[in-house]
Structure 1
Amino acid sequence: MTMLTVTASPSVSDDARAVPEDTAAPCDIAVRDCRTEGDTLALRASGALDHFTLAPLRVVLAVAPVYGYRHLLLDLAGLSFCDSALLAVLSHWCMRGRSMEITAASRQATRLLRLADAHTWLMPPGATERWSSAGGGF
């Protein structure tokens, strides 16, 4: 499997581009390990996610339903920063009748999701118990 990193830098432009993982700038947001199985899309995000750096994730999630993906598995363990723009993107995904699960979350992502009480409006029933027992979720 070839691993690609989709990166975007707000100082360069808002367009997304695919580059080999080892050439990605360390400060860029990256969507890594984009895997699929049936109607499930599994993504791993890393770096800092805010209004400007969310462009790659927005693109991936905008295109995914066109190809039949209705369920999202999202690993946020590699995030060093995230703000309410992430909540908006995730909410947009779920408001369209699609489902998602956060399989892991960094301390920063966990804090944001807890402050927003996201498990009550974003996650499937029973998911918070599984994440808590796994130690990586919120």
Structure 2
Amino acid sequence: MASAPDGDRFTVEVRHEGGAVVLALTGELDHDTAEPLREALEAALAEDGARLLIDFSGVSFCDSTGLNAVLHGRLTAQENGGAVALVGLRRPVERMFRITGADTVFDVYPDVAQALAAGTGRGLWQS
């Protein structure tokens, strides 16, 4: 876990659900707090074919460092036959993904349950 300068904590909770690894993020994701996310992405994507959902529903802010970490995770997953989807994008996080065009390279869902349901239908989240 990392503490943001203003005292908000950034955390990454890792859990396995429906054949996917879910990274549930909370707090402000920026240059000073991105390392736990990078570490969690690296661990989650260590297996070939890993299926990863990144849950942003608890994130109140994300800067370019966070965006780059997520984009790098996506590339790693693709190289290893895996997939990454995003869930729970809230304003202003959703806006940053939209204006950079990053929302077009990810499947984006309102919540984990809908992502798992959609992925199962396409064979993405099956174990």
Q: Is the 8 A contact 1:10 1:52 kept in 2?
A: yes
Unaligned runs of 5+ in 1: 1-6, 12-25
Q: 2:2 aligns with which of 2, 8, 29?
A: 8
Q: Percent identity?
A: 31
State the secondary structure of the residue aligned to 2:31: coil
Q: Secondary structure at the match of 2:46?
A: helix
Quote how far apart the aligned CAs of 1:68 are: 5.1
Q: Which amino acid aligns with 2:27?
A: G
Query: Highest relative contact order (Cα 8 Å, sep 6+), 1 or 2?
Result: 2
Instruction: Mark the runs of 5 or more structure 2 residues left unpaired by the alignment.
Output: 115-127
Superposed displacement of residue 9, structure 1: 2.8
- Cα deviation 1:72-111 (Å, max 9, x = unaligned): 1111111121111111111111112132111211212101
TM-score between both structures, scaled by the size of structure 1: 0.66
With normalisation by structure 2, the TM-score equals 0.71
Range with greater deviation from structure 2 (62-71 or 39-48): 62-71
Q: Match for 1:120: what amino acid?
A: T
Distance, in Å, in 2 between the alignment partners of 1:31 and 1:69 is 21
Which has the greater radius of gyration?
1
1:82 is matched with 62
The equivalent residue for 2:75 is 95
Structure 1's consecutive aligned runs of 4 or more residues displaced over 6 angstroms after TM superposition are: none
Residue 49 of structure 1 deviates from its aligned partner by 0.4
Q: CA RMSD in A?
A: 2.4
Matches within 5 A, 1:55-70: 55-67=35-47, 70=50
Question: Hey, what does 2:11 align to over in structure 1?
Answer: 30
